[in-house]
Amino acid sequence: MGKGPEIAKTFTKPTVQEWVAKINKDLKGVKTADNLQYIIEEGLSISAIQAYETSDHHPISRDHNHLVACHIDTRESDCNELIKDLLNIGVNTLILDAYSDANFSEVLKDVILDYIDIVIYPEDEKAEQKAMDYLSSQNADNSKIYRPDSNRNLIHISFNESISNQLSEMLKLVNESKGEELLLILDAQKDFLSEIAKIRSSHILLSNLSKAIGKEINYRLLSHTKASDLEVHELIQTSYMGLAAIIGEADGIVSSVLDNKYKLNAIHTYNLITMESYLGKVSDPASGSNLIEKITEMLCNKAWETFVNNI
């Protein structure tokens, strides 16, 4: 059998200068290639034209046993049915927005607690204790429960127009936490590439913080894929935020939608990406992408500087 064509010899690799000349020609004088900037946040941008560079990359390695979480309003009369629907399609973590007047025996009726994680998010005084009293009566495994007054803590890092500020806030909250096992929920409401870089940056920054304080930080990082109020179809928005979470090596997602009719669809989409496409099995899919690597580095540098200056 004959030897196939050698692509490197058949097709000449264009130079960066040739690409820039081609881009300038296509822009027809409206702007030049030098003006094409990818805006990460105010005061932080990178050229949209990136050429391959040979360098050593160290992929981020995370456990790919993804957590899929949903908030549950324990005041809603149909929340028990909703919980069962969600568990049937792959949700394995329930974030209970707990109230002191909630009837937890009804909220968690017929729910097998052995196979899921429970996060108690107290919304008023005594809500946490009431939820714990019920869980204790059901012999729930404490190693599967996150709550404020325990060593398994929930830390929610709210959305911020400045990604680097959001990351530095994460470092601050983790540094101040006394918890031995942390569940970090990082709001995701930015564009696709920035979200990937933000999640990758989170892991790198937490590793740096661990080295700085001389203590291992045991954490799981979830991306909160709630859609923004922009006029974008929210199922599409939550889907590409879920994809960004997977590519960025998040440990899972918190799926939230503005319209409840999309609640199950958002979970189905995430499951398709992680399991059917096997993208969730790949170690750090974005590693080696010059653009993502550079955005990640820029975010890490700025967030760490902000964190150190505010200690």
The pLDDT tens digits for 26-61 are 988 888 888 888 889 989 998 888 877 766 777 888
Which range has the worst mean pLDDT, 3-7, 96-100, 116-120?
3-7
pLDDT at 268: 82
| pLDDT at residue 88 greater than cutoff 70 | yes
Q: How far apart are CA 257 and CA 233, in angstroms?
A: 11
Give the total residue count for the chain: 311
Band (11; pLDDT cuts 50, 70, 90) = confident
CA atoms of 264 and 243, how far apart (whole Å)? 16
pLDDT of residue 144: 93
> What percentage of the chain carries pLDDT values higher than 90?
56
**What was the pLDDT predicted at 2?**
56
pLDDT at 250 over 90: yes
At position 49, the amino acid (one-letter code) is: I
Per-residue confidence at 67, pLDDT binned at 50, 70, 90? very high
pLDDT of 279 reads: 81
Q: Which of 78-92, 128-142, 199-213, 245-259 is least confident?
A: 245-259
Give the mean model confidence (pLDDT) for residues 75-86.
92
Q: What percent of the chain has pLDDT over 70?
A: 94
Average pLDDT, the chain: 88
Q: Say what the pLDDT of residue 32 is.
A: 87
Asked if residue 230 has pLDDT above 90, the reply is: no
* Structural domains in the chain plus CATH codes: 67-309 (3.20.20.240)
Average pLDDT over residues 87-102: 93
Averaged pLDDT, 63-86: 91
pLDDT, residue 289, reads 87
Q: Is residue 6 pLDDT above 90, yes or no?
A: no
Sequence-separated (6 or more) residues with CB below 8 Å from residue 225 = 188, 238, 241, 242, 245, 253, 254, 255, 256, 266, 270
pLDDT at 13: 78
**Residue 261: pLDDT above 60?**
yes
Beta carbons within 8 Å of 281's beta carbon, 6+ residues apart:
64
Q: What is the spatial distance between Cα 165 and Cα 155, in angstroms, rounded to a whole number?
A: 16
